[in-house]
Amino acid sequence: MLPKYGLLIALLVFSIMGTKAQFVFEAAGDIPVVSDSQILNFAWAGGLNNPQFSTIDVNLDGIDDLLVFDRTSSKPLIFLRSSIPDTISYHLDLQFPAFPETLKNWVLARDYNCDQKADLFVHDVLGISIYKNVSTSNFALQKFNKGKQLKSDYGSGEVVLLVSGNDIPAIDDIDGDGDLDILTFSFFDGSFIEYHQNQSVELYGNCDSMKFILADPCWGKIEENNTTNAVTLSVSCKGATTISSHSRHVGSTLTTLDIQRDAVKDLLLGDITFSKMTLLINGGDSSSAFITSQDANFPDSDIPVSVSEFPAAFNVDVNLDGRLDLVIAPNSQATEDQENAWLYLDKGVGDTSDFHLTTPSFFTEDMIDVGSGSQPVIVSYNYDALDDVLIANAYSYDNGSKISQIDAYVNVGTNSQPQLELFREDVGGVSAFGWEQLKITFADLDGDNDPDMIVGNEQGEIHYFEHFIGIVPEPVFVHNDSFLGPLIDIGLHAAPYLYDVNGDGLFDLIIGEANGRINYYENTGSVSQPEFTFITDHFGKIDVSGAQSNGFCVPHIFEHLGEKFLIAGSESGEVFLYSNLSNILNSQFDQLSDNLFSINLGTRTAPLMWNYNEDANPDFLVGNSSGGIHLLKGSVFNSIHELVDINPDPIVFPNPCYDRIVIRDAGIERIKLFNLNGKELLHSAETILDVQDLKPAVYILKAFYRSGDVGTVKIVKL
């Protein structure tokens, strides 16, 4: 049987040495990592740049867990909370259930229908849509109102409730009637806060209908300056329902809280280009807001908020003491990417709130996180014959300046049971060159039996660093581009990888680039003096850009059981897998998968095969745009029967199908649809599935019964 809340797994079937090997890849965390003498509890979480925090019970134990959505990588993480009150105790859930793949910009968990189960409010183009929490014995989400955007009556009929992608709205019960209302800055002007009142209770006597009217176009009677974070109080205004003649305020975040504990919502306001948050005190009542004072240096009782830019506040009970704490994080992607989650615990007593800064790096201080963008490589760095992990970053921010560097995590365990420890930051002093978007690869290019380093950068350039044996146990890398001859420049975002492609005993150079393709430079030199000759800019006919304008291809070649494979990371985050690399010049490589892991690893992935436990199965490290690393463990199974209990097939018709299928069987609680690689495509609590947008192919439908059984049937989509 499947675990209670499902396995976050990826199934891959590909041919190896003429046989069929079926691999399962699981997100793992079993390699200990130490930094500054501290064990990183969430080392392999994948990093966070612009985290957003909400509470939702994912494992259905009655305790709200933390959902952390990263705006940069469009990636959710789940941290399971312990039941011990008055403690900050979390466990990273590496097997959490699949969340929708289309999440973007912001995600807030709120219970819209008063069933004590948090639902997901998500940004959807220029508006908001909802995923309803339909969990019973298993965690499950379902599109609310068939995925349609929320609407509001602005005065002349219902239209889409407009929310800018730069903003984060406040979703809360503003008027105290039990249903959820919405505060957002006017889409047309950006200076006034709109109050969209939910009419569900007023019209229907319940809270689940999501029927809004623009009740107040100028909530709180305040106006925000279009170019600063200044707020004018007691203004006489009508709001804005047409595009303003002056420039729109380009970004604001809103968070409601009852800091006075008088059942009236106060407001925290964050603004783009500013580092502080403004507290706005509501001196009105639940039916008529009136902001009477402001604190532009919140909280004035402790260290004030000062994230690098565009703060957003999230009101959650972090330590399970019954009081709502605050986590403040930057909402801008071009900002501080390490000290980026300021946790303020509410240490007040009774009706008094008293926020105190506990850490500026909540959760992120327990992760491998090199800033923005990460690419792992394996090399023996400190001469002990053990596999070490070096990580190149795109950049990190230091007092507003971008720093790009390479960090070395050395293996202090064994090759079958590695333990990593941060040993050196800024390997080779590469940060001094001012390059950004670093990608690295190692091989012995000068014939002296030690690995030299090639560095690619944002400008598309390739740079050579010669390895010299320094004071053991650390090498010295010396920049010497002249060794490679004329500078290699492939365009933008060079991602080099050294590998003997043609089998002549010399390391050739393949280079991924921004357009999603791979360049191939054959080494026509010698063992001690390489000469890289350009062959093609479309190696293997690979293009990972897909529907994206750019692909940002990061290639890696590995061997398994004597066969060569190429994997490539991409802008979308999907990892591509190719085989049949034998004819390197004239053939198109066979694409085995366009989403190898079927797991949301974030965007701009950078994959690497590393069999870290020395078993018979490939494992992987994957970097991403958030600056962290994911560890994926591989294992083999012989058939799908090892993963699920196969019960009598549910009755499905029509099959084959064109646009929809009907599942007719008693006792079905929910259904899921997968492709043959094991990627979950659809899930629903309904017994009718809309499949018109799926490509013609064979799919696997799984029906989950109230009894706990699982039935499986193949579906043919025409």
Cα-Cα-Cα-Cα torsion 308, 310, 315, 321, nearest 10 degrees, comes to: 0
pLDDT tops 80 at residue 255: yes
Residue 641's SS3 state is helix
Fold of 48-366: Tachylectin-2; Chain A (2.115.10)
Whether the per-residue pLDDT at 706 is higher than 70: the answer is no
pLDDT digits (tens, 9 = 90+) for 29-59: 999 999 999 999 999 999 999 999 999 999 9
Position 449, amino acid: N
Beta bridge partners of 170: 183
- pLDDT number for residue 228: 75
Residues in a beta bridge with 395: 372
Is the pLDDT assigned to residue 159 strictly greater than 70?
A: yes
User: In this model, does residue 18 exceed pLDDT 70?
Assistant: no
Amino acid (1-letter code) at residue 480: N
Residue 701: its H or E element: strand 697-705
**635, 636, 640, 644 alpha-carbon torsion, rounded to 10°:** -40
What the block records as the tokens of 478 is: 């010396």
Q: What is the DSSP letter of 546?
A: T
Domain 651-717, what architecture? Sandwich (2.60)
- The answer to whether residues 270 and 253 touch, using CB atoms and an 8 Å cutoff, is yes
Which is it for the CA torsion 643, 3, 24, 649, positive or negative? positive
Q: Which two tokens stand for residue 172?
A: 């809360």
Q: Ramachandran region of residue 417, left (φ > 0), alpha (ψ -120 to 50) or beta?
A: beta
Position 253 scores a pLDDT of 96
Choosing among 2.115.10.20, 3.10.150.10, 3.60.15.10, 3.30.70.270, the CATH entry for 372-634 is 2.115.10.20
What residue ranges in 82-126 does DSSP mark as E strands? Answer: 90-92, 107-110, 119-124
Q: What is the mean pLDDT of residues 71-92?
A: 93
Least confident residue range of 375-379, 480-484, 614-618, 690-694: 690-694
Find the mean pLDDT for residues 582-595: 83
The label of the residue with tokens 């690497």 reads: 608
- pLDDT exceeds cutoff 90 at 672: no
Identical fold, 48-366 and 372-634: yes
Percent of the chain with pLDDT strictly greater than 90: 68
Mean pLDDT of 237-242: 58
For 456-491, b/e burial (b = at least 16 CB within 10 A) is: bbbebbbbbbbbeeeeeeebebebeeeebeeebebe
pLDDT in tens, 453-490: 999 999 999 999 999 987 778 899 999 999 999 999 99
Tokens of 513: 């680039």
**Across the chain, which distance is largest between two alpha carbons, in Å?**
81
Q: Percentage of the chain with pLDDT > 70?
A: 91
Enter the tokens of residue 670: 């929910």
Is the per-residue pLDDT at 242 higher than 70?
no
Q: Is the pLDDT at 6 greater than 50, yes or no? A: no
Task: Enter the pTM of the model.
Answer: 0.85
Where does the pLDDT of residue 644 fall: very low under 50, low under 70, confident under 90, or very high at 90 and above?
A: very low
Q: Find, among 335, 323, 460, the residue nearest to 399 by Cα.
A: 335
Between 85 and 334, where is the model more confident? 85
pLDDT reported for residue 5: 32
Q: Is the model more confident about 666 or about 663? A: 663
CA-wise closest residue to 212 among 171, 271, 243, 262: 171
Residue 648 has pLDDT above 60, yes or no: no
Q: What is the pLDDT of residues 106-136, one digit of tens each?
A: 999 999 999 999 999 999 999 999 999 999 8
Give residue 586's pLDDT.
67
CB 528 within 8 A of CB 447: yes
Tell me the residue type at 519: N
- The pLDDT of residue 101 is 82
Question: Domain boundaries in the chain?
Answer: 48-366, 372-634, 651-717
Whether 333 shows a pLDDT value over 80: the answer reads: no
What are 440's two structure tokens? 């690295």
Contact 472, 425 (CB under 8 A): no
**Can you tell me the distance from the alpha carbon of 660 to that of 673, in angstroms, rounded to the nearest whole number?**
12
Torsion, Cα of 575, 576, 581, 583 (10° steps):
-140
Least confident piece of the model among 156-160, 179-183, 562-566: 562-566
pLDDT of residue 19: 40
- Euclidean distance between the first and final Cα of the chain, in Å? 31
What is the rounded CA–CA span in Å between residue 420 and residue 414? 10
Enter the tokens of residue 91.
């466990």
Task: Inform me whether the pLDDT recorded for 533 exceeds 50.
Answer: yes
Alpha-carbon distance 44 to 42, whole Å? 6
CB 329, CB 52: distance < 8 Å = yes
- Coil vs helix vs strand at 61: coil
The yes-or-no verdict on residue 71 having pLDDT over 90 is yes
How many CA atoms within 13 Å lie on the side-chain side of 100?
22
CB within 8 Å of 254: residues ≥ 6 apart: 167, 168, 169, 170, 183, 184, 185, 193, 267, 268, 269
The length of the chain is 718
Q: What is the structure's pLDDT at 712? A: 84
The one-letter code for the residue type at 573 is: G
Q: Which residues contact 471 (CB under 8 A, 6 or more apart)?
A: none
Strands 629-636 and 19-28: antiparallel
218, pLDDT greater than 50: yes
**638 pLDDT above the threshold of 80:** no
Spatial distance between the Cα atoms of 345 and 355, rounded to a whole number of angstroms = 5
Give me the chain's average pLDDT, please.
Answer: 89
